[in-house]
Amino acid sequence: MLHAERATAEEPATPVRIAYSAPPSCPDGQVLFAHVLARTARARAAAPNETARELAVRVNATKGRFFGRLLVPATSEGVGQAREVMDESCDELVEALGFFIALSIDPHATALPSTTVPPAAPSPAPAASEPESEPKSEDASDPPPPTSVPPTSVPPPPSPAATSTVTSSTKVEPQPPRSRPWIERKGPWHFGFGAGATLVGGLAPKVLVGSRGFIDLSREPTGDSVFAPFFSVGAISTATATDITPLGGIAIRWQALVGTACPVEVALSSIAVFRPCSSLEAGQLRGEGIHIRNARRTEGEWVAVGLSGRLSLTVWSALFLEVELGGSAPILWPQFRYTTGMTAFDTAALGARTSLTLALRL
C-alpha cells in the first residue's frame, strides 16, 4: 500500500487550460482553478503554446438560479463527458464545477478542499503587500496563458469544526459540494426522439393540421464555439382539409418524411437555445374531388426544400420543448384539376411551417 501511495504522489501534474465564461456576479476563472488545485495536486496551469488538456466551462443565470456546464473532451484513456450543475448560489456552483474538474483529472481528488492550502485573501492585494519570505510555486511564476485560468487564488479551508469532524474519525467520508448535478451525459453526442403537432400552409386552400414524430442526433458545443451540429429525421401526417366551391369541392391530405440539419446553435440563456436550420421534404400530396360527379383521386409526389428557425427550451433535465417556424418551397408537386380542365387548386410557391414538439435527449 505504501508503494502505491508513493507512485501516485510522484505522478506529474497534468497541464490544464480552461475556457471559462460566467456572469460578472460569479467568481472569476482564477477562483475556479483554485478550487481545482485545492482538491488535487495532479493539475497545473498550462504554459503558453504548451500541449494541455482543454476544458470548457460556461455559467449562465436565469430567474435567480445559476446553470453551469462542464465539457470534458475525450482522451486516449476514455470518452468525453458533459456535466451540468444547477444551484441558487454561483459561488457554490463554481466550487462544484471545480470539484468535478479535479475529479476528471484525478479519480482520487478530495471532495473537500485540502486543509493544508492557505486561505485566499478576501480581495485582490497588490504584489508589494505579500510577505517576501513566502516562496512562490514554480507554476505560479510562469506567465498565465491567455486562454487558461492561472491558479492565483485558492478557496479557504473548511471551518475548524468541520476539520475536526473529518480528522477525528476515519469512518467519516467527505461529501462533495452541496450543488447537485442537474444532468450527466457521456460524450458530446446525444440521441433524442420526440413528437408534437404541426401546422402546414400553402399545400391546401386551408391550413393543414397534423402530427409529427422524429429522431435526432446532436452534438454539444465546445467552449464558446457556436458549432453544434444537429440532425433530425421525422414523419409528418396531416388531417384531411376540405374546400367547397361553386364548381365542387376538394379534399387534400399531406404525408412526408422531413430531414433537418442545423449546423450551429446560439445560447440565448441557460435554458434557451436557437438553431437556424435547413430541411428537405419528400412525400405525397393527395387530392380528391367531393360533391362532383365522377370524382377522382389524384396522388402526386411532393419534394420541397425549406429554411426554419428552432427555439429549444429546457423543461427539466433532458426534456426539451421546441418551437419551429419556417417556410418551404416546392420543387416537385402535383396539380389538381377538374375533368373540364380547370384548375381546382394549385400549391403556393412558398408555404409556411410551424410546429410545437416535446423531445427527450440522452
Residue 177 has pLDDT above 50, yes or no: no
pTM score, two decimals? 0.55
Residue 8 has pLDDT above 50, yes or no: no
CATH 2.40.160.20 fits 189-361, yes or no: yes
> C-alpha cell of 67?
446553470
Torsion of CA 279, 282, 283, 288, to 10 degrees: 80
**pLDDT score recorded for residue 360:** 92
**pLDDT score recorded for residue 79:** 63
CA 163 vs CA 69, 112, 181: distances in Å: 30, 10, 25
Confidence of residue 128 (pLDDT cuts 50, 70, 90): very low
- Give me the percent of the chain exceeding a pLDDT of 90: 34
Please give the average per-residue pLDDT across 178-201, as a whole number.
74
Please give the average per-residue pLDDT across 311-325, as a whole number.
90
Residue 236's contacts (CB-CB under 8 Å, 6 or more residues apart) are 198, 200, 210, 211, 212, 254, 255, 256, 257, 258, 283
**pLDDT score recorded for residue 70:** 87
CA 203 vs CA 193, 238, 329: distances in Å: 27, 11, 10
Residue 181 has pLDDT above 60, yes or no: no
Spatial CA neighbour of 152 closest among 203, 184, 118: 118
Please give the average per-residue pLDDT across 254-262, as a whole number.
97
Spatial CA neighbour of 362 closest among 191, 217, 215: 191
Please give the average per-residue pLDDT across 286-309, as a whole number.
86
**pLDDT score recorded for residue 76:** 60
**pLDDT score recorded for residue 157:** 46
Residue 164 has pLDDT above 60, yes or no: no
Q: Are 13 and 44 in contact (CB under 8 A)?
A: yes
Higher pLDDT, 238 or 86: 238
> C-alpha cell of 114?
485540502
Confidence of residue 233 (pLDDT cuts 50, 70, 90): very high
Q: What is the DSSP string of 236-264?
A: EEE--EEEEETTEEEEEEEEEEEEEEEEE
Spatial CA neighbour of 232 closest among 320, 332, 350: 320
Higher pLDDT, 151 or 358: 358
Confidence of residue 191 (pLDDT cuts 50, 70, 90): very high
> C-alpha cell of 245?
366551391
Residue 262 has pLDDT above 80, yes or no: yes
Domain assignments of the chain as residue spans, ordered by start: 2-184, 189-361
